[in-house]
Amino acid sequence: MFEIKNLKYKDILDIEHLIIHKNSVTSIIGESGSGKTTLLKMLNNILSPDEGEIYYEGIEINNYDPINLRRRVVMLPQTPVIYKGNILDNILIGKKFSKCNNYNIEEIKNLLQKFNVNKNLNEPADNLSGGEKQRICLIRVLIMNPEVILLDEPTSALDENTEDMVINFVVEYVKQNNKSLIMVTHSKEIAKKYSDYIIEIKKRR
Amino acid sequence: MILLNGAIKLSIMQVVSAYLFIIILLLIVRKRGLNREKEIIISTTRMTLQLILTGYILTFIFKNPNPFITILIISIMEVFAIQNIIKRTKSKLSKELKKVIIISMLAGTLFTLIYFIFIVINIKPWYNPQYFIPLAGMVIGNSMTGISLGINKLVEGFKNQIDLIEGSLMLGASPKDACKTILDNAFDSAILPTINSMVGMGIVFLPGMMTGQILSGSSPLVAIEYQIAIMLGILGSVSISVIIFLLLGYKTFFNRRIQIRREEL
């Protein structure tokens, strides 16, 4: 799915060769400042390396239209991005960006329940706690139905039990729908428990 | 006191008495220790010299109407306005954004001026400086203020909401969708002063142009006709300039890969 060759970025990343497989769960681990988020951003083409190439499905990433690529390879940043409006507006915004207006309200309610967010869809999103915002953003990504989901510490604001429940659900969803998941996590346990592959990035000294 | 076309022509002594007013102001400033005497004296002197010079230049230009001189004056006004926008902006502007300022100022003000000169007021000859120059001054000055406010809001919006913009791009948003809130805010704050002045006009204050016309002996009814026309022109010019500026301006914050150019913030 992704192939990285001779990638260099400032004095943060130096990757000679890396393959990330399709229809798999891959975790990226490493100490802070090692470049985990930077690598994820490069796969979403929101950031470009100084040198080297990144291929997605055999095609160099810069040969894709960046907007279309990001709709296929969606990234969720660590800090939840909340827009003006209610919870439903916030969940649907990703689909709205893709000019796709059809949605299944039952599916959304079901996801809210699965993620343990006991709120009405018409409540203002501003009032949500950090953890709830993070889960709303995850639901936003899931209903966009992308090919690849890139998650940057998706559960950093959640307690251990909720974290496990959320990751478990996302991994199940990815497996059942033949998607690919690449997530940055601080937790080696989560990475070991759920990933098919683990990439460990070492900080350059 | 000399009456001229129904207006009072001020004698030299009357103008001198207006300066006495400033001397009183200076005494108060000094007594209160406000430490601004120098600025008041410099600004009063500058204003006096600039207006005397402008008075003589305009008298000459009005007596000798010439399309080239009119165009030259408009060009000087545009150059000063564009320089002023760039100087007054709090942040460092990229080359591309400076180009957008020039394009939007010229497009907005010239379109409005052409429409007003040829269609609304229908001045003959079109370059008649007595009409063209004051109209251009008002249109260019207000567009300048509008774009200045728009730039500050746009740059501020990019700096403060970079996570929101980048988070939207990560979801596959177009740059326009990702910046929508910032663009709406920038447009609102750019045209707000014009809207506010229109709302208060005639009730809270009498606008400068109308006051000038009335003082110089025109009927208030003639003065309001011009004032209405010029206010609509100003609103149009500010809106067109700011819309063009924002529509082209936000794009300069992205590279060709539709990534945020962080080095420009």
* Cα Dmax for chain A: 51
Residue A32, SS3 per DSSP: coil
Query: Nearest-CA residue of chain B relative to A47?
Result: B259
Q: Which of B164, B170, B174 sits opposite A46 (nearest CB)?
A: B170
Using the predicted structure, report yes or no on whether residue B120 has a pLDDT greater than 70.
Answer: yes
Rounded to two decimals, the ipTM of the complex is 0.93
Q: Which residues of B touch A67 (CB under 8 A)?
A: 172-174, 258
Cβ-based interface (< 8 Å): residues of B facing A: 163-164, 166-174, 177, 181, 257-260
Within a 10 A sphere around the Cβ of B265, how many other Cβ atoms? Answer: 13
Rounded Cα–Cα distance for residues A183 and A191 (Å): 9
- In chain B, beta strands by DSSP E: 2-4, 7-9
What per-residue confidence (pLDDT) applies to A186?
A: 86
C-alpha–C-alpha distance, residues B4 and B14, integer Å? 16
pLDDT digits (tens, 9 = 90+) for A145-191: 999 999 998 887 778 788 888 899 899 999 999 999 999 998 888 89
Q: Is A45 on the interface with B (CB under 8 A)?
A: yes
Contact A180, A106 (CB under 8 A): no
Query: Average model confidence (pLDDT) for chain B?
Result: 90
Instruction: Answer whether residue B56 shows pLDDT above 90.
Output: yes
pLDDT band at B124, cuts 50/70/90?
confident
Cβ contact, residue pair A97, B170, below 8 Å: no
Distance CA A4, CA A18 (A): 5
Which residues of chain B make contact with A140, given a CB cutoff of 8 A? 171
Structure confidence by residue, pLDDT tens digits, B89-119: 888 899 999 999 999 999 999 999 999 999 8
| Amino acid making up residue A50 | D
Q: Please, which pLDDT band fits residue B32 given cuts at 50, 70 and 90?
A: confident
Contact A54, A2 (CB under 8 A): yes
**How many DSSP H helices and E strands does chain B contain?**
10, 2
Check A66 against B171: CB less than 8 A apart.
no
- Write out pLDDT tens, residues A1-57: 899 999 999 988 899 999 999 999 999 999 888 899 999 999 999 999 999 999 999
Min distance B261 CA to chain A CA atoms (Å) = 10
Q: What is the pTM of this model?
A: 0.83
CA-nearest residue to A61 within chain B is B257
Q: How many other CB atoms are found less than 10 A from the CB of residue B208?
A: 10
pLDDT one-digit tens code per residue, B240-257: 999 999 999 999 999 999
Contact: B163, A77; criterion CB under 8 Å? yes
